[in-house]
Structure 1
Amino acid sequence: MSEKIDAYILIAQQEWELNLGSNARNLAAEISKTKPVIYVNPDINIKSLITRVGTPYGRKRLKLALGIGENTEKIADNLWLHTPQNISSSINFLKNFKLYDILNKRNSRGFFDSLKKAVKNLGWRPENCIVFNDSQMFAGPFVKEFFGPLLSFYYIRDNLVEQAYFKFHGPRIEPITIKAADAIFANSAYLAEYGAKYNSRSQDIGQGCETDIYDAFSEKTEPTDLASIKHPRIGYVGFLTHERLDIQLLEQIAEARKDWQIVLIGPEDPVFEKSRLHEIPNVHFLGSKKTTELPAYMHYMDVCMNPQVINGLTIGNYPRKIDEYLSMGKPTVATETLAMKMFLPHVELAVGLEGYLKAIEKALQPQTHEHKVAAINCAKSHTWEACVEKIFAVQDQLLNEKDPTQPKSLSSL
């Protein structure tokens, strides 16, 4: 057994070029401080290619899929980006399990053949690499067969099997992927428990959050579109989507307490745009804001909230906005779930209208300096460094189990 880890291979759900805030990007950046990392874009299928070929990025993906251009490029110190040199068959619509599995295996072979070539071109060996699979469940069963890494990790940071795209084949295939992995990592207790149903080595490693811009004690100018709204202000900041937020609950809160001003900041999905919330006088939609503007809006709220609807998508969800609210020292109310209990006692948890009314009333009471500082410290402790330390601890333990005569520690790798 080699003691040397050549690189971490981070197989991602999201394309790097999208430049969205994502766990995969954050973890890749943090791991690269210690070990080389290859961030692997998802492969592109025929259907997606057809719909995007008219765009500059679509044409770029086509060329790379055909082997024209550099599929692997260095994008930062110790960090490379690989775009697979293959075009997958579009198979998600298939209901025949046998045919789906045959084509899924073929897709996965093409994906890992491209990745193995990239690893070898960088002078590394697949058997000396660790694969960190960011919920790419359909390729997951073939990591060891087609790539053969030193270790294979599977990361669950959302209950994807409840999403429409994954809902038919996901519940059948993700358990296979989980069982095949050497360890499972999740960003909430709920998802770690789900992983533990199929793999005993399943661990909640928490969630990192970039809270540097959220400073509770710095001076801020009150935004002009917020200044005209009366107090108390009960605010939500983030994407306004009916799949994750309880529109009916928001309507009920606004109508039950007309003296409270419900302030909603963020883009709306079509259901929110057509909702009755727009007709309620004490509900205020302020639209999308730049990330750098959000701390000022939070600062001038009296209470911040996350009124999640409880469903398969949200039950295990870790909302980063809770860390942002707490980093601003704001009294916070959120829907009670297993995942949210990790924030106790710094967050008021509630279920239903009566629960929310009581929790908001309590959150509106004067907050001691000590309570505020404790909440801030809680949020600031949720770092990507802490997440990666837990990953490395499991890595070291597994390597020791493979070769107990060789002590493995992060400093020696």
Structure 2
Amino acid sequence: MSENVDAYIVIAQQEWALNLGSNARNLAVEFSKAKPVLYVNPAIDINSILKQINTPHGKQRIKLALGIGENTIKAGENLWVHTPATISYSINWLNNLSLYDTLNERNGKGFFASLKKAIKSLGWNPQKVVVLNDSQMFTALFTKKYLQPLLSFYYIRDNLIEHPYFKFHGSRVEPKAIEMADAVFANSAYLADYARNHNDISLDIGQGCETDIYQADFTYTEPEDLAKIPHPRIGYAGLLTSERLDIQLLIDIAETSPDWQIVLIGPEETVFEHSRLHSIKNVHFLGAKKPNQLPAYMQYLDVCMNPQLLNALTIGNYPRKIDEYLAMGKPTVATDTPAMKMFLPHVELAIGKEGYKQAIEKALLPQNPSARSAAIECAKGHTWEACVKQIYTIQNKLLNSN
């Protein structure tokens, strides 16, 4: 930790009020243990206003975008949240690159004008703050021009330029954002290698997990909706999205192993809601659960899984749910990707229907106590404190070299 740093600013992809588990949120909380932190919500754009204008949350966001109300609020000890008082143009559809770049800079200028006011209201010196940008690539281009912080870091946790929304403009913007950063931090070796093509100071800092609530040796009460499902239970906990999860693989597993009960815990996106999985008798959708409810569900599953698709979006992804599964001491099966190899030998890696069937059959065998303990220890070692320590090390090297 350097005395030259007065505070940290985390420019996030997700709104703090959504209360979702996210790396940016966890890193902000960890930074706040040492220095004041400002977590910055994404600016609202015109399209989002039109979609949300009739919802209570949308109405509140519009007011804040217009500067009506408290844009900067205290959210915790040493931690504040800022909602930008600006409205961004919705420009992702533009094919005219020159016009896009002009309007994108206008969006960035409005974003940082609001942020500078927040910094001033907190009494901080902008030139003594460190910025961590959570893959807000379009905003990141203008951090140094309009804010001029002490240091500007870029954080990458997903191969977002393969996502349909980001692909067209992001494929040319993100490399520039990475190049302009003082350092880049990633949560997997795959993403760090990608970033290193554009910035030599790119480091895999691993992934943290809130493992404190996952206690393998504590006896939780079995949830009622799970208790009525027979064993063996093969389960997944997390967002059910067709962009990342292999629906056909789940169908194949369920239909070819009718004695296995496939338990899916989490909110569903539209494709899942309309998938054939809902018509298969041994597939059970239990819906979204609060984070503190998940350990109980995991404890009463026989095998936990992460049936990811193999695509450009997921290949470098670090699924934090693997740490949660392992912290609960659960036999775990996951799709074989480069990022998953770091969990060996604590997980069974598989590809395709036959690979998954064999891996699940192996995972259903009685657990070796020492192997279970090693898996729990592996998960518990992945902390946000360890991630942030690596950021501090690079930060101090950069400051000492100036």
Q: TM-score range by the shorter chain?
A: over 0.9
Q: Deviations over 1:308-342 (max 9, x none)?
A: 11112211211121111111101100001111111
RMSD of aligned residue pairs (Cα, Å): 1.9
1:113–1:285 distance in 2 versus 1, CA, 3 Å: closer
Deviation at 1:222, TM superposition (A): 2.9
| TM-score (ref. length: structure 1) | 0.92
Moved more, 222-231 or 101-110: 222-231
Aligned to 1:324: 324
List aligned pairs for 1:351-390, cutoff 5 A: 351-390=351-390
1:85–1:287 distance in 2 versus 1, CA, 3 Å: closer
Aligned to 1:234: 234
1:370–1:401 distance in 2 versus 1, CA, 3 Å: same
Structure 1's unaligned 5+ residue stretches are: 403-413
1:268–1:43 distance in 2 versus 1, CA, 3 Å: closer
List aligned pairs for 1:312-351, cutoff 5 A: 312-351=312-351
1:260–1:345 distance in 2 versus 1, CA, 3 Å: same
Matched, 1:125 2:125: yes
Aligned residue for 1:166, secondary structure, equals: helix
Q: Deviations over 1:205-240 (max 9, x none)?
A: 111111222211112333343334333222222222
Which letter does structure 2 place at the counterpart of 1:206? G
| TM-score (ref. length: structure 2) | 0.94
Aligned residue for 1:281, secondary structure, equals: coil
Aligned to 1:281: 281
1:296–1:56 distance in 2 versus 1, CA, 3 Å: closer
1:5–1:372 distance in 2 versus 1, CA, 3 Å: same
Alignment partners' CA distance in 1, 2:40 and 2:181: 18
List aligned pairs for 1:142-157, cutoff 5 A: 142-157=142-157
Deviation at 1:380, TM superposition (A): 1.1
Among all aligned residue pairs of Structure 1 and Structure 2, give the percentage whose two residues are the same amino acid: 68
Aligned to 2:397: 397
Which structure's CA Rg is the greater one?
Answer: 1
Deviation at 1:164, TM superposition (A): 2.3
Matched, 1:33 2:29: no
1:114–1:278 distance in 2 versus 1, CA, 3 Å: closer
Aligned residue for 1:240, secondary structure, equals: coil
Deviation at 1:25, TM superposition (A): 1.2
Alignment partners' CA distance in 1, 2:251 and 2:46: 43
Moved more, 152-161 or 37-46: 37-46
Moved more, 287-296 or 158-167: 287-296
Aligned length: 401
Aligned to 1:409: none
1:299–1:60 distance in 2 versus 1, CA, 3 Å: closer
Structure 2's unaligned 5+ residue stretches are: none
Alignment partners' CA distance in 1, 2:61 and 2:287: 33
